[in-house]
Structure 1
Amino acid sequence: MDMKTKIIQYITIIIVAAVAFTSCNDLDLAPTNKFTDANYWTSVEKADAVLNMAYSQMFNAGYFFANERLTDNIYEGRGNTDEKIITSGQADAALGRFANEWKNCYEGIKTCHIFLDNIDLVPNMDAALKERMIAETRFIRASLFFRLANHYGDVPLFDYNINLQEANTISRSPKAEVITFVRNELNAIVNTLPKSGEYADKDKGRITQGAVMTQLARTYLYENDWANVASITEDIINGDYGRYELFPSYEGLFLPENELNQEVILDMGYTLTLKTWSEMYDAIPISVGGRINAFAPTQELINDYLMLNGKATHEEGSGYNEDNPYVNRDPRFGYSIVYHGYQWKKGDGSVSTIYIRPGSSEGVTGASDLDEYAGPGQNSTATGYYIRKYFDPTAPEGIAAGLNLILMRYADILLMYAEAKTELGEMNQAVWNQTIRPLRERAGFTDAGALNYPANGSLREIIRRERRTELFLEGLRLFDIRRWGTIETVMNATPTGAKFAAGNTQYIRLDQRRFNKDRDYLFAVPQSQRDINPNLTQNPGY
């Protein structure tokens, strides 16, 4: 269901419900008064309003972009956000990000349990509809537990509405037990849900069989269980859970007019009407509507975009010119990253040139120096780059975007399959032509060197680079570098920006980042939770 066309129903009830969820203990969040009795659960529409609330709690734009800021793709140039504290190695158990992620996940789980406990109270409800809505709810609950386990490791696991006493004494369950629960839930519900294309128009965007199996594949991907990743993604590619295919345009994939296209498996669209996000306000050039620049792409990310001939920038014969670095690059680069001289397309169809190199706008008629790199702590970019991907040209001033953020798409299925086959030693020309080649063809590559199965070079490195550039700014990089173990290196380094320092002769050097391999793979269990519940143990190093 398109968020911009849905009618607001039962908003007052949902707000009352949200207030009722407030509690001194985030694991309890006990509902009160009339929300859980038969006076509320009188219609399918009211039940669906609660399920809709669970959809909205499954994830949000804030975490979507915050996860990217925890990686080597993005550098935060202003302020002292929780993510910057984490990447500097200074986080402790009282950090807001640790507390809020825990709280938000368990709030969503609470909503799921309220729904599951009360759905049978709805009179004369169609049995098939009830079964489907229960399956949707179980998917959301499983996804929230998966999210908790990925960030915190061992977490409290329960499949019913716990009371205050239980919330104050519950212990953490082993991560392996939580993941097993998640997998069992996903396997139990998959056949209950519709396949891609089987929902009515008003229900488009709801959870499908494809979303369930993609989530299941990720539970194995994050453990480097390649056999299961390959098996599940191969079934998805074969159409066992609905038909998916690459959208013809990489640029168009992220534009509002193409929402819910054939590549999207699950996005953040099935939520309350008028739900918007504004993170891009502090990521795009100031001259085209940005406020300040709070986060920007790193030079390390830029370096990983291939040349049009398929060679990496550092490879012999690539044609890369350090003094003219933005020509003949992977077309996805220009659809994702704003660089010096970028031709910015506005919503009205006009184009403006973005000047970022210091001093470059001087003497240019109509040019503005607002976007030029001006050093650390300034309003302009800290790295010499801005972001284009996920900019909504239809958003009003202030960038309150209604664009659906994609959580799962078919390109990731192809990349997971390619990586699994590579790690299993089974990558060959046929698999390449089924996975990486169509991704590059869709991106706009035409050179045989980019499209053909590589005769030499590290396939692992090639696949990992492809994931990075194809999936930039989609919140997946954090989990990739964690499972690869490369986070210990790439987040324990000094990131750089464009060659705009020292009179445009040196690359910008940014703040040192630090990663403690004995601590930072996991978030801290929030101190506020441990103050309430002494049975909650802490992760090492905190």
Structure 2
Amino acid sequence: MKSYRFLILMGMVILSSCKDGFLNLAPISETNNLNFYRNQADMLNAVNAAYATLQFSGQYGQSMYAIGEGMSDNTEILDAQSGIDISQLDAFTTLSNNGIVNVTWNDHYRGILSCNTVIDRIGAVTMNETIKARYTGEAKFLRALMYFNMVRMYGDVPLILKETADVSEGYSYSRNPAAEIYTQIVQDLTEAEKTLPASYTGADVGRATSGAAKGLLAKVYLTQKKWQDTVTKTKELLDATTYDLLPAYADIFRINNKNNKESLFEVQFKKGGFGLGSPFNNRFAPRLAGIAVTTIGAGSGHNLPTADINNAYEAKDLRKDVSLAQGYTASNGSFVAARYIKKYLDPAPFAASDADNNWPVLRYADVLLMRAEALNEIGFVADGEAFQLLNKIRKRAGLPEKTSMEISSQSAFRLAIEQERRIELAFENHRWFDLLRTERAITVMNSKGFKVQAHQLLLPVPLTQIEINPSKIKQNPGYE
């Protein structure tokens, strides 16, 4: 993927002039003056600039795990020195001036605006029509992914679907109802799946495919409780030969096995000193571990597995030792009990926070479990297809099959799916959003000692956004 990553770097340079704040709409203003988008190569660079934003700290570089895992019962912060912003999220004391809340909003809109630039500009460019359709599909997939994350985190958000060339235009945008955001997400993904290829070769491996669009659309339908649409869309993925479970769970996360047969979409990272490496090797290591876990650079103590998830694994579950460690061996040879995530370890990072791990956004195992959940919601069938899908996941994990003797009702199957999703997809940013989607967040979290209030199911709108445009952007209820 050499050329892809080189152009990501170029995209990051272009985007570097975009200052904090929703209304600072570079790189659009700069590229207007340069008449930048003239040919197919320029459009490739523009598409790669949109991909590049996925690596930003406000997206998959930090925010998605801080929210998707840190706000759930899967992970925690044990040392305040790991950072006040992430500690607030973990403890449900988040304020509207929280830095992660702010950068999440800004970096998602930086990505969305980059997608809009591609979609608006590409029609006027003389280039191969098949490639043009593909680039448009990639931009729509990325825009849908970013809006899907935004609407789940903030609720109503501004829906911006065109290139913005003048910062004054930003003052016209207010927050659109979440239903409108979902309508656009579905439209983008429906259009994207028609123009994206099923797979890529060479340097293009890792780009959005038709399968990625189908998988994300299935998750959107599941979130909307559109059970039959979820079943229909997941069936398309099951009928294809593109995806399958890997025989061994550990193989999914190996550095030398990126973008494997189980992967629908990953955020691409590449170590090497170019600013494209992943930071998780250091972020997820215990703060006092030195180089015992990371080999280079200190740990940040982010996203540490809780005792609750440690105890949630069944005996002999093969996924546990792949997913988390119970501690590390210190330089003096003693064992230090301090749990940490193992899925994103790189045995040979280039430098601190410069590792080779991709981030899995969509996996085939997720598709199987989504289908099982939707089938059960349509109607519980004892030992039916939903059971078969659940047991396919459990078999790989070395666990016995579940039958209707143990799971005898629709409500019991819901809990079985919730448990299996938690363990199978642990530390991949699904747990908090699963609890939101099933309306179980308050019940589950408060049963474990948290004090989650209804308004905290959404993040506060960043204070900076309200101060910039107080007549249009209002705060979520319950926050000051």
TM-score where L is the length of structure 1: 0.78
* d(CA) in 1 for partners of 2:29, 2:151: 32
* d(CA) in 2 for partners of 1:295, 1:302: 13
From 136, 156, 159, the counterpart of 2:158: 156
* d(CA) in 1 for partners of 2:30, 2:341: 47
* d(CA) in 1 for partners of 2:122, 2:113: 14
Residue correspondence of structure 1 range 82-161 to structure 2 within 5 A:
82-123=85-126, 125-161=127-163
Residue 71 of structure 1, CA deviation:
0.9
From 461, 466, 474, the counterpart of 1:530: 466
Structure with the largest fraction of helix:
2
- Contact (CA 8 Å) 1:296, 1:387: kept in 2 or not? yes
From 15, 18, 28, the counterpart of 2:15: 18
Residue 253 of structure 1, CA deviation:
0.8
Greater displacement, 482-491 / 266-275: 266-275
Residue 87 of structure 1, CA deviation:
3.3
Residue 139 of structure 1, CA deviation:
1.4
Q: Write the letter of the residue equivalent to 2:206.
A: G
Residue 149 of structure 1, CA deviation:
1.1
1:288 maps to 292
- Contact (CA 8 Å) 1:105, 1:144: kept in 2 or not? yes
2:310 maps to 302
The sequence identity of aligned pairs, in percent, is: 29
Q: Write the letter of the residue equivalent to 2:309.
A: L
Greater displacement, 293-302 / 256-265: 293-302
Residue 133 of structure 1, CA deviation:
0.4
Q: Write the letter of the residue equivalent to 2:109.
A: Y
* d(CA) in 2 for partners of 1:31, 1:65: 27
* d(CA) in 2 for partners of 1:15, 1:483: 33
Residue 393 of structure 1, CA deviation:
2.0
Q: Write the letter of the residue equivalent to 1:281.
A: N
1:403 maps to 357
**Structure 2 CA distance for partners of 1:537 and 1:34, relative to 1, 3 Å:** closer
* d(CA) in 1 for partners of 2:101, 2:74: 21
Residue correspondence of structure 1 range 26-425 to structure 2 within 5 A:
26-31=22-27, 35-36=31-32, 39-58=35-54, 59-66=59-66, 67-79=68-80, 80-123=83-126, 125-162=127-164, 163-195=166-198, 197=199, 199-239=200-240, 243-269=242-268, 275-284=276-285, 286=289, 288-290=292-294, 291-292=298-299, 293-307=301-315, 329-339=316-326, 354=328, 368-369=333-334, 371-373=335-337, 381=338, 385-396=339-350, 398=352, 400-425=354-379
> Any gaps of 5 or more consecutive residues in structure 1?
308-328, 341-353, 356-360, 374-380, 495-511
- Secondary structure (helix, strand or coil) at the match of 2:92 reads coil
Residue 153 of structure 1, CA deviation:
0.8
Residue 266 of structure 1, CA deviation:
0.4
* d(CA) in 2 for partners of 1:185, 1:7: 25
* d(CA) in 1 for partners of 2:202, 2:149: 29
**Structure 2 CA distance for partners of 1:386 and 1:179, relative to 1, 3 Å:** same
Residue 368 of structure 1, CA deviation:
2.8
User: Which structure is higher in RCO with an 8 Å CA cutoff and minimum separation 6?
Assistant: 1
Residue 451 of structure 1, CA deviation:
2.1
Q: Write the letter of the residue equivalent to 2:203.
A: K
- Contact (CA 8 Å) 1:70, 1:83: kept in 2 or not? no
Residue 464 of structure 1, CA deviation:
1.0
Residue 141 of structure 1, CA deviation:
1.4
- Secondary structure (helix, strand or coil) at the match of 1:281 reads helix
- Contact (CA 8 Å) 1:73, 1:297: kept in 2 or not? yes
Q: Write the letter of the residue equivalent to 1:416.
A: M
Residue 203 of structure 1, CA deviation:
1.0
* d(CA) in 2 for partners of 1:73, 1:148: 21
Aligned residues: 457
Q: Write the letter of the residue equivalent to 1:61.
A: G
Deviations 1:394-418 (A, max 9, x none): 3246352112111101000001011
**Structure 2 CA distance for partners of 1:63 and 1:90, relative to 1, 3 Å:** closer
Residue correspondence of structure 1 range 478-497 to structure 2 within 5 A:
478-492=432-446
Residue 235 of structure 1, CA deviation:
2.1
> Any gaps of 5 or more consecutive residues in structure 2?
none
**Structure 2 CA distance for partners of 1:260 and 1:78, relative to 1, 3 Å:** same
**Structure 2 CA distance for partners of 1:167 and 1:338, relative to 1, 3 Å:** same
**Structure 2 CA distance for partners of 1:414 and 1:119, relative to 1, 3 Å:** same
Q: Write the letter of the residue equivalent to 2:293.
A: G
Which protein is bigger by CA-based radius of gyration? 1
CA RMSD of aligned residues (A): 2.6
- Contact (CA 8 Å) 1:250, 1:442: kept in 2 or not? yes
Deviations 1:302-345 (A, max 9, x none): 222123xxxxxxxxxxxxxxxxxxxxx211111112126xxxxx
Q: Write the letter of the residue equivalent to 1:461.
A: L
Q: Write the letter of the residue equivalent to 1:244.
A: Y
Residue 454 of structure 1, CA deviation:
4.0
* d(CA) in 2 for partners of 1:19, 1:280: 24
- Secondary structure (helix, strand or coil) at the match of 1:429 reads coil
Q: Write the letter of the residue equivalent to 1:413.
A: V
- Secondary structure (helix, strand or coil) at the match of 2:143 reads helix
* d(CA) in 1 for partners of 2:74, 2:402: 27
